[in-house]
Structure 1
């Protein structure tokens, strides 16, 4: 046995080293896109990232960042955390499989034969390495993200519980349970996904301590779900909620400083827990021990499920009745263990005090500003992201409001007032005492109950979501009678069958099973899918299956066939896992069935249970496969048991040791095919795109500029560049999604580094949550123009005549005018003096029907700025957020500056843009064919290519033909078609080449575009009608590219090329029913 354990430990560390080396070799050397730059920034300076927070991750990241020799290498060191975490998860998976396999094969000391030991180790190697090289897990292992940490927490907790099960009857075995409790508490400060291991841990406890029956197993599972609910819905949200009552008393009544009540509550809880631990362990008074136990449970927040006092009263009443009145027999050891475990979770959870402390210091990045307990509760509950999705009962997306009379014969939607919104009272003098005030109440709309449904899966009424729902399940088919405002009406809602169809086809199949098959069967490509036949589906590698699933594979266009994200595993990992789970169920006896249900519980809770809880809407901004790596982890345990199944079969033909070796070799085919197929799309070494593209945004800007951004990928890399690498600290990045909130406006009004406060004139009381959150245009058809300053005064007026009958803020018209002071424009060098005659006396602004607080802040800045600071919109911000200003945009890189010069479609500052793009921009090594460029990066590269085209056309218009040719040649050099394939937008580069008389260069681009489009259209034309309906946008794009190529061929007399593709275009136009 000692020999087994020694080799088992060594093999585990060998697996760790293999995984770590692979991850280090393929790790991104700097920041990636999405949340990664934000995570690195929060780690480097202990700033506050997005809700619900990850303080422990930030602490560990900060520790690693201290090893960086300079700020440019901070990201490398923080990325290495993910490498080590992921390798650690693989290590614990190996040991998990070997523990479970040993329980099946070895019953006593004599069973430690070489054959059985080799089988156990083989199972561990195959299962662990298979997981190490799965696509989704590998992706998270090579960038800074919390999911690798969550995987480590899951793997460690599961392994530790198995270790407890081995020594459960020995003295001091409870220390393993307390270690797990502490790990769970720590994991709350990384990602809540780790909590989903709790049911599987309880099932391990159940099978170890109790006789197995179906009834008792079901009860054990209910207990497991109850424990999960106690932590997730009880302790986590309610601990700080309970402390808030003491906080209000200490601050508003006793006049003490902010957060004094939270500190007092923490001290009280610590004292009560120490008392409860002592009383249940060494105390002599049984009643006192039980009372201390109940009090500690109450103060932890566990009974207050959903912050409900009534639920807490019921739970605490039951505890008092059972423990103090009925005096049910419960050993002190159990009470003590529960209190100690809860104390360990709370110790881990206490890390969120770091969020309070750091936010109180007002760091530059302080998302949600959780500097007090009320803001912290909002932060932890993710209120910034909107309402919680209904799970078991709620309204469908077609639901109409419940109405009530509002006077003047009108009705208004009923709003349910929730909890008060407490904010810090602004101080007028430094000596003012700290105080909280109510600035409003959280309101939720009340829907007519006829539109409610059990298990509502389609609930979002956003227009794009509605369209997507109906594309998945059709128009709502159920008529419902209701009486809005006393008037009989007939509404529409989906049937329960349609609701269930959406759950099964979209949420379960598309948003989980598709990702599962990516990892264990094969992946079509790395393109994000919304249900199209040619993007992001799962495949097998067998054409006779894939032809049926995703169209003809023998005629795939070059772009689809050569996509680095195309993986074909021939279903080998899937088959191996199925063999393993069938072996546990059918051939491994009682122990095997127990092992199956333990692993299946983990598999279900980290997969399907997440789907049910999240209740995801369609059109997710990115693929979500990383959320389910815990489920893939569990399936790889089954893959490991596939080795036991094969070895068991081979023992009928071979001796024990040879059968074990052969089974392991056969099993290792699975990780071998995974690493060989997945390397090319997970090798991010030498890729610097996120860092360089973020810097390019900043380098597009004039000194002391303000840039409006909107999404993760045009915001977080910029924050990283400023905060970590110290680039362009004169610039203020202003995210329009956050500008709707009072806490973010507060931050924008503070100086940061060399960036002055934003020119916002509104007071905190005017933009506080609940005040002027949204305004409406009273009459969108009114073409009357009013001055911008008057319109803003109208909004801020408290006169009831400036509101609509329901009390909403209104703009009298959608047409506003910003007066332009020409002298100010020239004095601030907003416009070059040579263009003085083009400066307009006033700028026209056009509002949408609904004007958000972010829109109003932009309007206020335009009014208040007086052209002192350059104001830009990032090119990636949507047109709907431009406030009708696009004709006043001046392109200077990949940012558009607002200038008082009107030109249809905007103008180009060729001098600034040429300098930026030719001299200042960096390109992230995208010209290197060895660097993997995923769809997201290729889309950004296309944006840059478009801007090169805009610049070239601008230079040609100014008769700077030599400069235009330099721009085109440079564009082809830094964004070559060998790594960034030519597409529709490349045709404009070709057009400029033609205009400059460079026919061969133009021919090469357009021939490539036309050939690629023709291949794609040929493949689309062979699809079935249903398949073709999913790719109408791609068909239109390819037809447009081919049409553009033909236009330029004809325009510049490229007859041979025109004749080559014209007949094809006519054929495609006929097949796709468009006008040629």
Structure 2
């Protein structure tokens, strides 16, 4: 039997409570100083809009997050509503840091203390807890989640609290309070599903303590944890055509049966049933709904048998877990209730029927293949998924969490490993499960999420690289490793104290006081990560959305492409009540029946189809094949056919639902209101939409007649000079990652089109004025400098040409110094250096520029922007061998094979690509 007592007698530790509160306050202050004061890109705008309006966000709906966000929106402690809702993440992540402190202290006391009456042992526990909690608080990804309206801050707070409660349960085991603690932990796990499924990651490890009886010994814990690790190895073994999920399931069942047979006398079987039912949500919510009544009946029957035979299986506690767990899960029923009231944002319309609701919870919008099956068809190479790779490589994120990479990561990494090793050596029963928890949150998530690296085809024949950085999925691993670093500090202090002053209490005390300086180590993380996570002056997403809406005329329709040109607009319209006359139609959602129906019925978008021609219903063919399609076909006027509103083939082209509906809206609109596109209309339209798409500011406006230059010069000039806002664009101290920089590239490119049109018209003065305006308000964008330098040089003013280039060079150096990971700045600075070197004859400057562009390309060889820049540099230099090498590297990402320029270079007949625009 394992003794988990800590010797404190259950007394309340005021010092510990004070330090926990101090951790919360310090973390809260740092987060409050750096929190975004409006909304961010990606899902944040959607979450804020849905929280404020009590709408339904993307599956699985995060109902508890929406309800809590609504509460924060109603409390007027700051003026901006988005700012208020962001504070939910601030408080949540401060709680994460606090619970991390409490968890670390509890673990250290188990591992190291010989009795809490020893003040030095208590100090070591406090110091270790403080260090670990601040490493958690100031780790890069966790901090980033703490300053915007996202789900991960609150999810992590619940996760760490559940682990802390599990260790508390271990201390209470054998007392009446133990069952209450276990029930509370499982309630938090189930209610946490209303925040994010990340919360449930800790349950498998916590279940080890709940399931095993007090009589279990260290070897039993080792066996269960070994089984979990073996499961991960089996995934690797059976992946990529070597058996897949069926063989994995078979082997897992055999190994699990053997394990249960070996431990059956030391297991609370009632708790096993309850936790198995609750954990089924990780496979699918539909499975949970099926197993819940089965589990209740099984426990009642098993309880009756156990009572008659005198068995102890804790069936009553297990029933309470199921009941309380369902109560926690019940927040999800808010979704269909609210959806039935037709909120303005109602994604997937989950109130349509029960199956729609369950499919919504199971995230079937993102594909029919289960995540378990998908694990065995790897969407990236092992080296890219576990190593360094843009947007998804685990190690890329891990090494930058606490020190932004570099040599400092080595001692920090060693500190975490020391913490894990000491934990295992001192108390295997606790240390091994904690280590297993980290493995599941790191290696396990790499295997489960199976992120795409762009080098492999999917079963459907597609290929892609993750569209954004996926570091946030690994936040639990970074948090628990931060706690391990605190354990490492405590382990080192305990070792030094005992090694060098075992028989001298005074010297022991002095050594502990001296080593307390190690508590300052997280200050390195604070300093390294502060700028990157300081959003306090960043209003760029707000300005992007405002400028986009301000481009549109009254009552216009604008087709947007995806998250970043849709969610900010939703937030601005629904939360700030700005330009709600503009109807936003998201193309990526327009491939779904529910969204088309909502555009027609709720937003009055001109669509002539009836609901029976739009909504999909389950249908079964005579051969038993089940499909979903509308009850009636519609008249696809542009293609002259009757068709069902589903993706179909017309000739050699796939016609998507969004293609048919875009054409339908254009025809049915009858030119009554302006129609805009945030990106060019799809090229295959029978209506030849691209020929009628006039570039208007940063969007495309559909006109009645095709234009020769396709640019509305007057409207665009007025927008850039008098309408668009650029507050903070010129401030290099406002951190921009590549995503933010990339979003605004279209804005700069639009200004260049207007410049070219003005020059073609002979209107030099306004062309120069426009470029000077861009250089003033948007100095990070290099092309206004390029075209002006070109213009001045053509006019014989080489001095002025060099002057503007040098100004751009200094500006980009400042932006790069402030945003070292931003590859756009690296490439743009390299381009400017090359041009300065060409004009001045400074070969060293040119070489520096080429090296910067090479570095940017090597850092992300999938980037089309980086590839085109690299091609231009190499082609201008006549380095055709290097050109071919770059093309082959770019072609490793299968999605790029459609690039016509890449195809030409890969072919033996290399045609020299044009030089970089502007030079």
Q: TM-score range by the shorter chain?
A: 0.7 to 0.9
* 1:352 corresponds to 2:332: yes
Equivalent residue number for residue 849 of structure 1: 653
TM-score w.r.t. length of structure 1:
0.66
Cα distance change, pair 957–190 in 1 and its aligned pair in 2 (3 A): same
Deviation at 1:326, TM superposition (A): 8.3
Pick one of 682, 707, 722 that aligns with 1:919.
Answer: 722
User: What corresponds to 1:104 in structure 2?
Assistant: 111
CA contact (8 A) 1:65 1:77 kept: yes
Superposition pairs for residues 262-341 of structure 1, below 5 Å?
A: 307=287, 329=309, 334-341=314-321
Report the 3-state secondary structure (helix = DSSP H, G, I; strand = E; otherwise coil) of the residue aligned with 1:190.
Answer: coil
- Listed as ranges, the matches of 1:177-188 within 5 Å are 177-188=182-193
Q: Matches of 1:3 and 1:200 in 2, distance apart?
A: 28
Pairwise CA distance, 1:224: 13
Partner of 2:152: 147
Query: What is the CA-CA distance between 1:658 and the residue it aligns to?
Result: 2.4
**Mapping for residues 689-838 of structure 1, pairs under 5 Å:** 689-752=540-603, 757-769=604-616, 790-792=637-639, 794-796=641-643, 811=650
**Partner of residue 462, structure 1:** none
Task: From the superposition, tell whether residues 975 and 995 of structure 1 become closer, same or farther in structure 2 (CA, over 3 Å).
Answer: farther
1:750 Cα deviation after fit: 2.6
Do 2:336 and 2:357's aligned partners in 1 also have CA atoms closer than 8 Å? Answer: yes
Q: Distance in 2 between matches of 1:20 and 1:948?
A: 42
TM-fit CA distance, 1:160:
1.7
Q: For 1:508 and 1:923, locate their aligned partners in 2 and report how far apart those are by CA, in whole Å.
A: 29
Cα shift at 1:31:
0.3
Report whether the alignment pairs 1:1034 with 2:838.
no
**Gap change, CA 1:216 and 1:57, over 3 Å in 2:** closer
The equivalent of 1:834 in structure 2 is none
Cα displacement (A) at 1:760: 0.7
Tell me how far apart the structure 1 counterparts of residues 332 and 52 of structure 2 sit (CA, whole Å): 18
Does residue 84 (structure 1) correspond to residue 84 (structure 2)? The answer is no
2:450 maps to which of 609, 615, 633: 615
Aligned to 2:25: 17
Over 3 Å counting, the alpha-carbon distance change for 1:1016 and 1:761 in structure 2 is farther
Deviation at 1:298, TM superposition (A): 9.2
Question: 2:3 maps to which residue?
Answer: none
Contact 1:642 1:667 in 2 (8 A): no
Cα distance, 1:224–1:646 mapped onto 2, change above 3 Å: closer
Instruction: Give the superposition deviation at 1:12.
Output: 0.8
RMSD across aligned C-alpha pairs, in angstroms? 4.0
Partner of 1:975: 778
TM-fit CA distance, 1:691: 0.7
How has the CA–CA distance of structure 1 residues 347 and 1022 changed in structure 2, closer, same or farther, with 3 Å as cutoff? closer
Q: 1:400 maps to which residue? A: none
- The match for 1:195 is 200
User: Does 2:121 align with 1:124?
Assistant: no
Structure 1 residues 298 and 683: CA distance shift in structure 2, 3 A = closer
Aligned to 1:391, the other structure's residue is in SS state: helix
Structure (1 or 2) with the greater helix fraction: 2
Question: Relative to 1, partners in 2 of residues 1:225 and 1:341: Cα closer, same or farther, differing over 3 Å?
Answer: farther
Encode CA deviations 1:74-93: one digit per residue, 9 max, x unaligned.
01111111111001000000
d(CA) in 2 for partners of 1:986, 1:853 = 42
CA distance in 1, matches of 2:191, 2:333: 13
* 1:875 correspondence with 2:679: yes
Matched residue SS, 1:738: coil
Match of 1:1066 in 2: 877
Cα distance, 1:957 vs structure 2: 3.1
Residue aligning to 1:492: none
Deviations 1:174-208 (A, max 9, x none): 22222212211220100011011112212344677
Residues 94 and 124 in structure 1, CA contact (< 8 A), matched pair in contact too: yes
Distance 1:724 1:184 in 2: 31
Contact 2:394 2:446 in 1 (8 A): yes
Q: Is the 8 A contact 2:89 2:146 kept in 1?
A: yes
- Deviation string for 1:228-282 (max 9, x for gaps)? xxxxxxxxxxxxxxxxxxxxxxxxxxxxxxxxxxxxxxxxxxxxxxxxxxxxxxx
Residue correspondence of structure 1 range 447-466 to structure 2 within 5 A: 456-458=376-378
Displacement of 1:1011 in angstroms is: 4.2
Determine whether 1:645 maps to 2:491: yes
Q: Report the secondary structure of 1:875's partner residue.
A: coil
Measured against aligned partners, the alpha-carbon deviations of 1:550-576 in whole angstroms (never above 9, x if no partner) come to xxxxxxxxxxxxxxxxxxx34232121
Structure 1 counterpart of 2:476: 630
| TM-score, length basis structure 2 | 0.76
1:323–1:617 Cα change, 3 Å: same
1:567-598 CA deviation, whole Å, 9 max, x = no partner? xx342321211122222234x2xx2x222212
After superposition, the C-alpha distances for 1:897-956 in whole angstroms (9 at most, x for unaligned) are 11132246x512122222222222122412123211221122233322212222222233
Alignment of 1:1045-1056 (within 5 A): none
Partner of 2:255: none
Q: Mark the CA change 1:744 to 1:1020 in structure 2 (over 3 Å): closer, same or farther.
A: same
Partner of 1:496: none
Deviations 1:3-36 (A, max 9, x none): 9810111011111111111111111111000000
Distance 2:769 2:446 in 1: 52
The 5 A counterparts of 1:171-182 are 171-182=176-187
Contact 1:202 1:224 in 2 (8 A): no
Q: Distance in 2 between matches of 1:661 and 1:878?
A: 68
CA distance in 1, matches of 2:284, 2:668: 48
CA distance in 2, matches of 1:1028, 1:96: 39
The answer to whether the 8 A contact 1:202-1:221 is kept is: no
Find the counterpart in structure 1 of residue 441 from structure 2: 606
Q: Given that residues 759 and 864 in structure 1 are in contact (C-alpha distance below 8 angstroms), is that contact kept between their aligned partners in structure 2?
A: yes
* Structure richer in strand, relative to its length: 1
2:424 is aligned to 585
The 1-side partners of 2:114 and 2:391 are apart by 41
Alpha-carbon deviation of 1:336?
A: 1.7
CA pair 946-304 structure 1, distance change in 2 beyond 3 A = closer
SS of match in other structure, 1:172: helix
CA separation of 1:749/1:323 partners in 2, compared to 1, >3 Å: closer, same or farther? same
**Bigger shift: 672-681 or 713-722?**
672-681
CA contact (8 A) 1:643 1:663 kept: no
Shift of 1:692: 0.9
**Matching of residues 49-448 of structure 1 within 5 Å:** 49-68=57-76, 73-108=80-115, 111-205=116-210, 209-215=214-220, 217-219=222-224, 307=287, 329=309, 334-371=314-351, 372-389=353-370, 391=372
Cα distance change on mapping 1:322 and 1:333 into 2, 3 Å: closer
Which secondary structure does the structure 2 equivalent of 1:897 belong to? Answer: strand
1:53 Cα deviation (Å)?
0.9
In structure 1, the residue matched to 2:749 is 946
Are residues 712 and 1004 of structure 1, via their aligned partners in 2, closer, same or farther at CA, if it must alter by over 3 Å? farther
Q: Structure 1 residues 972, 916: CA separation in 2 closer, same or farther (over 3 Å shift)?
A: same
Residue among 697, 721, 730 paired with 1:893: 697
Encode CA deviations 1:81-127: one digit per residue, 9 max, x unaligned: 1111001000000010101111223344xx42221111110100110
Is 2:111–2:423's contact at 8 Å kept on the other side of the alignment? no
How many angstroms does 1:458 deviate by? 3.3
